[in-house]
């Protein structure tokens, strides 16, 4: 659907028409609640836009809201969020001084027969990522952070393009073109694993240590 509610062919997924030009954060958030730029909104509770400090020096970009985030309307309020907050703290980044968002603003999930009524996370595809990108671009323009942290492969692809590989590019200061259209400027990005990888790992401690070590690179870029 486009902004006037007209059905669109499947290949034109795009949040762009829903993003108000020159809007402040509150207006963006309000507009995002009505986004119909791709079909992911259909079975969700709500748009999960962002949380945190609009003056933050660090923006954290996750993949998409999970089950709990979809219910509560806020990013990273479930188990992965708890891992993330602890790791940030340990890396020397005050979690209360960050702005937290996702590459995709609706929860993508499926039902699998053996899991009953549980909504099982499904990774968003490149079309959904690129459809949702105008929201992320608008947020980054407004917040204008010193460092952007990409949490996992999907966030990395949203920021750095489809060839991004988290295993190869994590833990280093990377650059990407500025989001405010200024060709001279570049954004400073640090990529790391998604915090949910810690929860799934056999060796949780080692994987957690890797996350903290990558986040320290972001902390150092601030000083």
Q: Return d(Cα 139, Cα 23) in angstroms, integer.
A: 10
Residues in contact with ligand URA by the rule CB under 6 A: 62-66, 69, 75-76, 78, 80, 102
**Closest distance to ligand URA from the beta carbon of 180 (Å):** 25
Q: Give 3 or 199: the residue with its C-beta nearer to ligand URA.
A: 199
**Maximum CA extent, the chain:** 53
Q: Give 38 or 193: the residue with its C-beta nearer to ligand URA.
A: 193
CA 108-142-82 angle, to 5 degrees, is 45
Written as six digits, the tokens of 35 are 């986004």
Q: Give 37 or 65: the residue with its C-beta nearer to ligand URA.
A: 65
Distance of CA 64 to the CA centre of its chain: 6
Q: Which of 63, 55, 139 is nearest to 94 (CA)?
A: 55
**Closest distance to ligand URA from the beta carbon of 122 (Å):** 13
**Closest distance to ligand URA from the beta carbon of 155 (Å):** 7
**Closest distance to ligand URA from the beta carbon of 21 (Å):** 26
Q: Give 63 or 214: the residue with its C-beta nearer to ligand URA.
A: 63
Q: Which residue is nearest to ligand URA (CB)?
A: 62
Give the CA count within 13 Å in the CB-facing half-sphere of 33. 7
């Amino acid at each position: 659907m486009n902004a006037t509610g007209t059905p669109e062919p499947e290949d034109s997924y795009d949040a762009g028409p829903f993003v108000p030009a020159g809007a402040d954060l509150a207006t963006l958030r309000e507009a995002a609640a009505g986004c119909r730029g791709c079909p992911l909104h259909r079975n969700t509770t709500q748009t999960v836009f962002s949380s945190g400090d609009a003056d933050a020096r660090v923006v954290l970009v996750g993949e998409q809201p999970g089950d709990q985030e979809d219910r509560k309307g806020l990013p990273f309020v479930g188990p992965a969020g708890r891992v993330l907050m602890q790791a940030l703290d340990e890396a020397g980044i005050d979690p209360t001084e960050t702005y937290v968002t996702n590459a995709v603003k609706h929860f993508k999930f499926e039902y699998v027969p053996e899991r009953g009524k549980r909504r099982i996370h499904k990774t968003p595809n490149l079309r959904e990522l690129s459809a949702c990108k105008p929201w992320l671009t608008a947020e980054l323009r407004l917040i204008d952070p010193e460092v952007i942290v990409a949490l996992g492969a999907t966030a990395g692809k949203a920021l750095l393009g489809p060839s991004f590989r988290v295993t190869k590019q994590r833990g280093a200061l990377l650059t990407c073109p500025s989001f405010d259209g200024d060709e001279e400027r570049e954004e400073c990005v640090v990529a790391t694993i998604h915090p949910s990888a810690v929860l799934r790992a056999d060796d949780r401690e080692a994987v957690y240590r890797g996350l903290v070590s990558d986040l320290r690179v972001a902390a150092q870029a601030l000083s």
